[in-house]
Structures are given as C-alpha cells and as structure tokens.
Chains A and B, each alone.
Chain A
C-alpha cells in the first residue's frame, strides 16, 4: 500500500502490527523490505513507546543471527554453487552490505552468514547488487520492465554457474522464481533461512 502511494490506508494495519507484536523482545522477519517498512515508514504513526520499540526491535533474520545470536552453532551444510541476490531494501535500505556505488571497505552480513555453511560455493556476479525488478506493485504496473529486469538478474546467475539463487527477501525470490518456472530455467530459488537450516539429511532437488 505505502510504496504504491497509499500510505494513508495502511495506518490501521501498522497499528494492528504494533498491537500484535509489541510484547516481544524481537520481531524477526524473513524479509528485508518488510523490516525496512517498519523501521523507516512507521514514522507516520504517533511515536508511542510501543511503536518506538517495534521500530527498533524488528529485525531481518540475517541481522538477528549475526548481531543477536550465536551463529557459530549453525550446523548447516549445503554443497552447491549458490548465487546471492542482495535485495535492495536490505542492501541499500538497511545497509546489510556495502552497495557497489559507495566507496569504502566491503562488507556483507548476508555473505558472512552463508560463508559459515559447510560446502557452499558462493559465486561472483557481474552486477553484484542490481535490482531484480520486483518492487511491489511496480512488478504489475511496470510489468514489461519488471520482467526484463528479473530475466537479466537471473541470467547473471546462470552465466556464473549458480545452481541455486538465494536471498533475504521473499518478494524478490517470488518474482524471480515466477520467471524461472515459466521459462523452465535450470536453477532453483531458496530463501537464505532454508539454506541456513539445511543439513545433509534432507537433500534438495537441484
């Protein structure tokens, strides 16, 4: 609603979210864009202590694992070639990684987590952090450009030998998976939590 220009119709949903979650220490989400929305756009609500707490304590799962949990205990293994899709809202919005436009020391909390996974081979991409073209209702309103962006993003992963594309944002992954399935392309989409939760016991059908 908000990204489509109807922020004003979303205040009740925001209030409901605050009511539902304000008693928890952390709210963890598998989606950088949702977290971004709560942190950056809940400024239109009255800033009660509950709202302020929610805005501070809502974290993406990667942030939570890196900054608030002991990630050394992750006993995951995933012996495949994986391409990481750096979702824009996490990357440039919440600064999970240095964006390629900015000058400075590179870092990425998401790669940092994936590197702990046994057997994983993270591939390099030509355009490390280009948008996949989802963008909420952009995916529908600008269907032609959105799909072209998605196709190009997937192509970069294929050309660099990825078997699996992973990422932190459900929505980007849904968009790319939709294109992959329609075009019957030879790679799979997995959310990062699926990879972090993966052990050799359950093999994916790659």
Chain B
C-alpha cells in the first residue's frame, strides 16, 4: 500500500478528480482574496513563525507555566506521553463520572490517538459533532482533510448516507434539507450527552486558558450542555502570551477557508460553576520530532489545511490516498516522523513545486523537508533495489563523459530504429500516456563541434 497505487485508483475517475480539484481550488481562491486584503500578511507570517520557533525552543518552560496557571484557574491538567495513555486518561475520567454518551468536537488529535474505537470498545457512545466529521463517521471512513473532513463526498452521497442512518427522505442532495436534518439529529445527541470532548487550537501559557475554533458552534454546544469538558491538546499548540493569540487567529481562518475569523473562537479559562474542566497535554511523538533539527519546524503547524488546498497532488489524489491521519504536504513530513517505514512513499508524493511552503501561514519549509525525508528514507527505510541500482548507475555514468556520449549516441539511434512496441510497453511508465521526446539528429556537443568550434 503506497501513495502511487492509492492515487492511481482515485485518478481513474476523471470527472470526480476534476470535481475534487475544483472544490479545493475554490477554497484556495477564497484564501487568496482574503490574504490579499491584508497588506501586512507576509510580516504576520514571519511573526507567527518566530513565535512558534520561540515557543518550541522553550517548550518545557511554557508548558509548565501553562500547567501552573491553568491549575490556578481550576482546570485539571493531565499529561499523556502517547496515544494509549491519552485514551486511558479520558476513559478513567469518564468512568469516575459514569459517562455513557459523549459529543466530540473537531479534534484531529483524538483521530491520531484512535480514541473513538477505544471508547466504543468500552461501551461509550461517541458522536462526532462537526457535520463533516459526523458524515465520515456515519460512512465509517476517516476524514480526508483536516479542516473539511468530508470534502471528498458529494451531496448526493451524503443524501444516501442520511437516508440510511437518519431516515431522511430522498432529496436529491438538497443542502438545506440535509443540513436541517443533521442539525435536528445532532441537537438530540447534544441533549443526551454526559460529557463533551474538544480539541485545542491554542493553549496560552501566560493565562492558563485555551482556545477552540469552530464554524458550527458545535464545541460550545457540547461544552455548555454537559457538566464535564475534556480538552485534548498536542503540546506544540502552546503559545506564550495572550497577545500572541491575535497573530494566529488572523492567520488561521484566512488560510483555512478564506474567512476573516472562524465563526466561533471560544476561549476557555475556568470551569463553569458545578462543571469540571480537564485538559490533557499530549506528546505522542512530538518531542521526538522536536529533537530532529531538520524537521522541527513541522511542529509550527496550526492545522489550517492550506497546504492541502494548494497542493496539486493532493487535489488530484484525494486525502485518503495518503493513508495517514494528517494527509497532504504537512502530513507527508509529519507522518514519517511517527512511522518511517509505513509512510515511506509520502515524501515522494510531491513534485516539490513549493506551493505548500509559500502558502503556509507559519512558514514551514515543507518542500525542503520533503526533500530531506527522501534522503533519509532511501537510506534507512525504503531500499527499492531497482531504484537504488538505477540511481547508482546514473551517478556512475554521469561521471564518465566518454561513455555518456556513447550512450547518448546509442540511445538516439535506438529510438529511431526500434519498433514502437519495444519502446512503449509496460516497463515504460513515462510512455503510458506520453510520448518520449523525438531524438535529435545530434547532441548539442556534436553540433557545437561542427558549427562553432571550427569558427572559434
């Protein structure tokens, strides 16, 4: 299972690829409009990048400051070194409170920890309350995008899914009807929930509070209706001061969807009266990545998804082809850090066009890290003998000019006289849908010797 084979399946349905490409490009265009209204955009990116570098270099300090201030605010702070520990902390709190049903709001971190299957195994009903996530949950799929989890689904497919699970009538993909049905369904779940679980966009060390950004208000709905709120936060989400928040809030929504700000930007500082508020600070591989100097900047990521929307490969291969919780360019530099062998094909699923790095609001040098991972993976994880041989051979041939000249001459001749089937066959991936260049009569060197050097 590798990116090329999964992508190939997706590309087969060309109409669907065009539709997927257009949907995401539309978001990219909205993003462009929004950021171009902002003359100081590039300075803001630089500032955000510097704040992130500073926070990551002093991560221990800011995390402890956060813990101190959050505890003083009445928030219960927990630490989880990995996914298993995270899930156990969540379940233990639920057990103490006799929680049977929960509503969850947008957290890629709980996806990363595979929390849903864990809780379901222990008899807890988990409802993803973000509409897109609820759709993929009903379809028994994973999100294909970190901001728009169901971007790969057409309205008519959602219609069918709702008919099956929510007993709606066929509406030919009428979005007003479907949204109303989803709202009705989710409100019932909110009313019955015993606890709410959310992700965290930013944790502020100075004030011991955290921020959750949503467009549907679903986080607030869950949190306000239940007496127990657990928030899961990746430790890299910490920012030092309250005043830094404005920088990221301005960058996040514009980069993600082209909105000036998310519809709901909720700040949680202390538990409601009579309610409990917990936060779990999760490492799960982040400190290891922090220790890899070349890849440290990948932890700047604020999960806006802009690199996915702009990536010409992502748009044409779909999020599921990456087979990783975070797909697209940023996933391709994060995932090998977690499991290099499993995700060995991801850093190669890019033409290195660099659009991801230019669009990134926190200036992660994504395409350079992709290049770097390629060097590490061929050395440590992914020895493809044929590729290794051909690369070694090329390296050898290029350093033997006379042989190289002869090979070129031979090649030009061969291409001219060989029958077509010998050139275009299953061994030649280039030639499946493309012609190879017409061989020139002579090489540049030969031409130069004939025409210029004698005049020289």
Contact = CB atoms under 8 A, between A and B. Distances in A.
Contacts of B8: 143-145
B434 A9 contact: no
A193 interface: no
Interface residues of B, number: 58
Interface in A1-46: 1-10, 12-13, 15-16
Given A102-B42, A142-B7, A149-B351, A1 B437 contact: no
Given A92-B355, A179-B434, A5 B378 contact: yes
A6 to B, nearest CB: 4
A146 B7 CA distance: 10
Contacts of B3: 142
A100 B33 CA distance: 11
B148 interface: no
Interface residues of chain A: helix, strand, loop or mixed (majority): helix
B312 A130 contact: yes
A103 B354 contact: no
A146 B430 CA distance: 10
Given A101-B310, A178-B436, A178-B437, A145 B352 contact: no
A175 interface: yes
Contacts of B355: 88, 92, 99, 101, 129-131
Interface stretch (B86-94, B206-214, B261-269, B393-401): B393-401
Contacts of A78: none
Given A103-B36, A103-B39, A135-B351, A149 B312 contact: yes
Given A101-B310, A178-B434, A178-B435, A13 B351 contact: no
Interface of B: 3-4, 7-8, 11-12, 14, 17, 21, 25, 32, 35-36, 38-39, 41-42, 310, 312-313, 316-317, 347-355, 357-359, 371, 374-375, 377-379, 387-388, 391-392, 394-396, 398-399, 401, 429-430, 432-437
The 4 closest A-B pairs by CB, nearest first: A135-B351, A178-B434, A5-B374, A5-B378
Given A8-B379, A16-B398, 5 more contacts: A3-B374, A5-B379, A9-B394, A92-B355, A145-B316
11 contacts: A4-B391, A5-B374, A9-B392, A12-B398, A16-B398, A101-B310, A130-B355, A133-B312, A134-B351, A142-B313, A147-B434
